[in-house]
Every structure is written in structure tokens, then in C-alpha cells.
Structure 1
Amino acid sequence: MRRAKQAICEKDCLSILDRASSGTLSLVDGAEPYAVPLNFVRCGKHIIFHSAKEGRKIEAVRKNPYACFSVIDSDLVRPEKFATDFRSVIVEGKIDFVSSADEKKMYLRELCKKYSPCVSSLAVEKEIELSISSVLILRLSIESISGKVGIYIMEKENGTG
């Protein structure tokens, strides 16, 4: 990273991933870039996505499983400073398709825990059973992770701004 003093440590990058509700998955589709906003959940050193079984995203991953996933945690424009207060994270790695029914169920439970925390476990299990045959689970291995914070947030947190 060019501005190393604005780098975010890995622990804080993981925290940003955990609290973010969506991010952008970037792929290569033949000779063209392809980016799609998705919701997700982090499970250890993996980012989990759910998807329909067909579509441009799936075909792109089948052709080239290497991907980049980015999340913006905060994004406040400061016009008077000609700057933006932001925190962002970029993950790079390889995507694989989860085929085990038990693993798919586990990841779907984690997605439900993140996005539907007030729904009963009975309702979650019912929804998983209804949808599991039509859902594809993609697992992005976190091979590298980096984050950056805007200069004014960094200065405020360090007591220098």
C-alpha cells in the first residue's frame, strides 16, 4: 500500500468484514471485468456467498476462480477538506463451490444468523430445507487482506487531528 500509515491491521479488517452488510465481488469474465454487489458472511478465513445456480457470476467463477472482494465500512464526504472519511477492506483469494449438504446448511445458518438474527431457529431450518436444493454456496478463501482508513479518521483516532 502506497500510504502505509493509513493501513488497517488484519484484526480490524476482519472486524470491518463482520459488521458490513454488503460488499462487491469482482471477477474476470473472459476478457472483461465483472463486479457484483452481494451480501455475505465471514466464517474464519472464508467469505461465504449464496447464489442461484446459474448466471454470469457463476460462469465467471467456473472459468476463473480468482476473485477480489471489497467492502466500504464508512464513507462520509468532507467537501471542505476535499476528502472522504472512509474505512475499506479488500480481500483476494480463490472461490470454490461448496458441495457438501452439511456444509451448505452450516453456511446458510451463518448467513441467517447475520441477516435474520430475530428469526427463530425453527423458521431458519424450515427455510434452509425449502431452499437448499436451489442454492449454490460460494466460499472465497482469504489469501490476502488489506484495509485502509481515510487520513482524517486516522488523525482523529491517533489524536493528531
Structure 2
Amino acid sequence: MRRSDKAVTEQGAIEKILHTGTICQLAFSDEPVPYLVTLNYGYHDGALYFHSAREGRKIDLIRKHGQAAFTVALDRGLITGEKACDWSVRFQSVVGHGSVILIETPEEKRQALDLFMAQYSSDDFSYPDKMIQATAVFKLEINAMTAKQSRIEA
């Protein structure tokens, strides 16, 4: 990272960003250009959890490559100023990559969906069998990640 003063290196601080976020962008290798998609997610124990339709470009690319890059960014507010160069944004972000695994069994899907829903709510949820069958559930096991922040007061 070029700007080491913006680096977030403490694992607990990085995980706090991942636990706080609500939107993740996944990037897949594809031809002639990469494919980028924005999704809700859940974070738990070094992995990001997602759900989607069982068919589509994203699922095809997971099956083909099994790898993706990701970013989670938190908008912490706009900074204004008198001159254009005084304007900025407070933010925190995590970027990384990892192996993407489709979760197949109904019980594993339910466990993953619980981790997903824990990102947004402390409520308990049930998942009807029909919904489980109709939903793709997958996780990205994070292989590497870096984090940075700007204009965040300690």
C-alpha cells in the first residue's frame, strides 16, 4: 500500500469493518472484461457469505474459476471545503481475494444463511425447504486482504 499512513493493520479493526459493512462488491475474471457484482453479505471467521439465484453469470464464473476479488467500503461522511482540493471523504475499506465455494447441502445452506442474516439482525430465522432448494448459497474464503481508512479520528 503506497500510503502506509492510511493502512489498517490490526486484525480486529479489519474485522470490525467487515462486520459493520452491508454491501460487498465481488469481481470475477471473465472475457473480454472482468465481471463485477454488488451483493449483500455476511462475514464470519475469515469468510464472506452470499446468496443468489441458482443460475446466472456469477454462478457460471464461480464454477469456472472458483476465485473472486472483493471490496467492502464504509462511507463515513463527506468533508467539504472552500477550495476543491479541500474536499474529501471519510472512509474505511477492505479489499482482498479468495476461493469461492458453492454450498450444496440444505443444512450447510441454513448455517450459512444464519451467518449471512447475522450481519443485519440478531433475530432468529427459518428457511423453508422450497426456498433452500431455489437459492444458491456460497462463501468466499479470504486468502488475502488489506484495509485502509482516511480521515477517521481514533
Alpha-carbon separation, structure 2, partners of 1:66 and 1:27: 7
In the TM superposition, residue 31 of structure 1 has moved relative to its aligned partner by 2.8
Aligned-pair identity in percent equals 28
Q: Which runs of 5+ in 1 are unaligned?
A: none
TM-score by length of 2: 0.87
Shift in CA distance, 52/147, structure 1 to aligned 2, threshold 3 Å:
same
SS at match of 1:148: strand
The match for 1:49 is 50
Shift in CA distance, 82/112, structure 1 to aligned 2, threshold 3 Å:
closer
- What is the total number of aligned residue pairs between the two structures? 149
Q: Which runs of 5+ in 2 are unaligned?
A: none
Aligned residues of 1:50 and 1:138 also touching (Cα < 8 A): yes
The match for 1:74 is 75
CA shift digits 1:79-115 (9 cap, x unpaired): 3223221111112111111123221110112223333
TM-score by length of 1: 0.84
Alpha-carbon separation, structure 2, partners of 1:22 and 1:57: 16
Aligned residues of 2:106 and 2:133 also touching (Cα < 8 A): no
The match for 2:34 is 33
- Give the root-mean-square deviation of aligned CA atoms: 1.7
- Residue type of the alignment partner of 2:139: R
Between 1:99-108 and 1:43-52, the stretch displaced more is 99-108
Alpha-carbon separation, structure 2, partners of 1:90 and 1:104: 25
Alpha-carbon separation, structure 2, partners of 1:113 and 1:83: 32
Answering whether residue 101 of structure 2 is matched by residue 96 of structure 1, we say yes
CA shift digits 1:11-49 (9 cap, x unpaired): 211111111111111111233111111001112111111
Aligned residues of 2:94 and 2:146 also touching (Cα < 8 A): yes
In the TM superposition, residue 146 of structure 1 has moved relative to its aligned partner by 0.8
Between 1:51-60 and 1:107-116, the stretch displaced more is 107-116
Alpha-carbon separation, structure 2, partners of 1:75 and 1:57: 30
Alpha-carbon separation, structure 2, partners of 1:75 and 1:63: 36
Shift in CA distance, 44/128, structure 1 to aligned 2, threshold 3 Å:
farther
Alpha-carbon separation, structure 2, partners of 1:108 and 1:11: 23
Answering whether residue 25 of structure 2 is matched by residue 20 of structure 1, we say no
In the TM superposition, residue 5 of structure 1 has moved relative to its aligned partner by 1.8
SS at match of 2:22: coil
SS at match of 1:143: strand
Alpha-carbon separation, structure 2, partners of 1:19 and 1:97: 24
